[in-house]
Amino acid sequence: MGFFGGRSRNYENKLQELYKSVVESLKQNARSYRADAVIGFSVNIDEISGKGTQMFMITAIGTSVLLQHL
């Protein structure tokens, strides 16, 4: 949110960067297991603020799977 309750472009950009970073991390992790896909993908971003400090905590989960062709 911006000063008057509107959208903050800087804030949104940071969140997009975090999201892209965690997606890439999950992809790399899946590749290390030679997985074909990640299912059940979920991302949660929380803001942690206090004493003049603002931080984000991001949690991402997913299951790496190997597809079997029948």
> Confidence band (pLDDT; 50, 70, 90) for 66?
very high
All structural domains of the chain with their residue ranges = 9-65
Q: Are 61 and 26 in contact (CB under 8 A)?
A: no
Give CA separation, 24 vs 14, 21, 34, 40, 60, in Å.
15, 5, 15, 16, 11
The one-letter code for the residue type at 9 is R
pLDDT of residue 52: 84
List pLDDT tens digits, range 19-63. Answer: 999 999 999 999 999 999 999 999 998 888 888 888 888 999 999
Instruction: Give the rounded distance of the alpha carbon of 68 from its chain centre.
Output: 28
pLDDT of residue 35: 95
The one-letter code for the residue type at 23 is V
Instruction: Name the phi and psi angles at 41, rounded to 5.
Output: -70, 130
